[in-house]
Structure 1
């Protein structure tokens, strides 16, 4: 296994540990044990817990960036609120289906790192981009696109949290009902 593959495996395992056992379970020793590696292996790749958390933030950020680019959600022409809501709902549904562990780990880290300006800022922006939302509202001809973008991201954050840890945890992702629920949630906030 290459060094970069081993690093990704360690990061993904760290995310899974946080998601299943909580942030306190994240230790170098726990990573070694979970992957059946010799003692000290995880600390060889990530000398400190902070270095590991920085790598987690980068992993979530880069995966989000790659998925956003692949989804081609950049507005062209004049998008309608309905088409934008459906496109974003589809992306959020895939996020809930494919990256649940990342969502849980991110929220655990957000709370734990409130006082760490750098890491908290990176975590706050690693899934949803207010810059892209601002571009979207500009393309839709909205007044005050920056404020609208901030509001939309807040609604998305709350809606996603509700689905993996709140009242709607019973609504399975990757279903038409999931996408419909997310579309209904977003549509009022996209109407210009």
Structure 2
């Protein structure tokens, strides 16, 4: 649990957004969820936009830290099967537990960024060690446009996660295998 009040409020705002959607994200809702006196959140984030911006910054920071850790702990796969297994483990995490909560909040923020370009700038995908693992695998397999194929593969995986969060279910290894195979062609 973060000791910094601003970080704790942003974390709580992520939970509120995941549970109630963008319309339910209010200063009062965050105060209630954090078990704090009314007005606490607005003392730290005066406007709803300031709260949303802090939430998005925290979400990106958490995601980047997670992806960095994955990349540092995950060797570049030697086979397509190893890459499929690594992606499948990542997708499973995104669909359950903390990953599910953050995924729901991330997609809500992505939709909100259509109307608030300043949020889009914060949400822009960044380089990270997890993404580098996929790139390095594709490059090692002789894929000429490894960067473009990495972006396409990870975008398709993200689409599967979104689809399963909205529609229910899981992502099968066969679906991921198909995406990896397409990236290798």
Counterpart in the other structure of 1:108: 108
Separation of aligned partners in 2, 1:32 and 1:128: 33
Deviations 1:75-107 (A, max 9, x none): 54x732221121121112112223211111111
Give the superposition deviation at 1:126. Answer: 6.8
Structure 2: runs of 5+ lacking an equivalent? none
Give the superposition deviation at 1:142. Answer: 0.8
Counterpart in the other structure of 1:147: 148
Counterpart in the other structure of 1:63: 62
Give the superposition deviation at 1:184. Answer: 3.2
Is contact 1:85–1:183 with CA below 8 Å preserved after alignment?
yes
Deviations 1:102-152 (A, max 9, x none): 111111121122143331133242798896344443233211122212211
Give the superposition deviation at 1:40. Answer: 1.5
Separation of aligned partners in 2, 1:103 and 1:58: 14
Q: Call closer, same or farther: CA 1:157–1:7 in 2, change over 3 Å.
A: same
**Superposition RMSD in Å:** 3.0
Is contact 1:130–1:149 with CA below 8 Å preserved after alignment?
no
Is contact 1:32–1:41 with CA below 8 Å preserved after alignment?
yes
Separation of aligned partners in 2, 1:153 and 1:43: 37
Do structure 1's residue 43 and structure 2's residue 36 form an aligned pair? no
Separation of aligned partners in 2, 1:134 and 1:7: 35
Q: Aligned ranges for residues 2-151 of structure 1 at < 5 Å?
A: 4=4, 6-71=5-70, 72=72, 76=76, 79-98=78-97, 99-125=99-125, 132=132, 133-151=134-152
Give the superposition deviation at 1:67. Answer: 2.0
Counterpart in the other structure of 1:170: 169
Do structure 1's residue 184 and structure 2's residue 185 form an aligned pair? no
Give the superposition deviation at 1:160. Answer: 0.6
Matched residues, number: 182
Structure 1: runs of 5+ lacking an equivalent? 172-177
TM-score by length of 2: 0.80
Is contact 1:32–1:40 with CA below 8 Å preserved after alignment?
yes
Give the superposition deviation at 1:64. Answer: 2.0
